[in-house]
Amino acid sequence: MGATPSSPSDQLSGKTFAFYPALLGVEHNEWRLEKATWSEILVRNTQTDAEFWIPRRFVGEVSYTGDPILIVGLNVELEVKGGMVVAHQRRVIAMPGTPPVTADNSTTAPGVPDHGPVSEMRLDRNDRRVLKLIGWMVAGALVLVFLLLNASRIRDVRQQVVFTGSDHSFDNLNSRDDYLEVTRKLGQPGTDHPQETGTILYRALGYPERNYTVILMGRDKGSMAYIGTVDRNWRPIHFVNTQTGALLRTLKPF
């Protein structure tokens, strides 16, 4: 189910939630809303009791993945630094420049005229060669990234083609379906494996003859609901929304 149009503070009041992406520097990703102003929200970590103010401009959509688990999307990657939440800055390494030619480091022998213009012309040509080399390296890196992205898309397309002629009963599942509703729609699973991650519970209902596994998630066994389906290689093939799809991609097989 997608985000609702009400304000984040209305949706988060009295409920626990997780940030996506998670705050860097904080290991436990489960929070409660303590206070909200027109420009900021105050959140408290349910395990450490640490509190942080987060500007509203960083807070995106709130999505339901099954009551009472909520996912709060962040517009930028945030980190905790010096007790404050700030936008994460990735370091960029600058290329060293070519030192200028001076009288101190000139290689001209004593008594021989130093052809300044010629030396400067050669230096300029070297600079152009370095810049051209850097340009080719950047272009090559962009081409490589483009090829990798297209390879990933091709794998996704192949994955979809593989499932075109197979059982697609999971298309009828949604975030309101609990264990009983899933088994009513798909039948009894061949395998049933639970897993606990912090205070969040997962349940993998395997259907080996159909080559996929249905994943449920919740705070306890009674509140667990459908978030998505993975194939036999544990790759997401169906999910409730983009946030649950991202969670499934980080979830290891169990």
Domain closes at, from 87, 122, 143: 87
pLDDT tens-digit series, residues 78-95: 999 888 899 888 776 666
Average pLDDT, integer, range 198-206: 93
Q: Which domain holds residue 200?
A: 169-250
Domain closes at, from 37, 53, 87: 87
- CB under 8 Å to 44, separation ≥6 — which residues? 31, 32, 34, 50, 51
Cβ atoms of 193 and 206 within 8 Å: the answer is yes
Residue 70: pLDDT band with limits 50, 70, 90:
confident
Residue 167: pLDDT band with limits 50, 70, 90:
confident
121 within a domain of the structure (yes/no): no
CB neighbourhood size of 224 (10 A)? 22
102 within a domain of the structure (yes/no): no
Give me the number of domains the chain comprises: 2
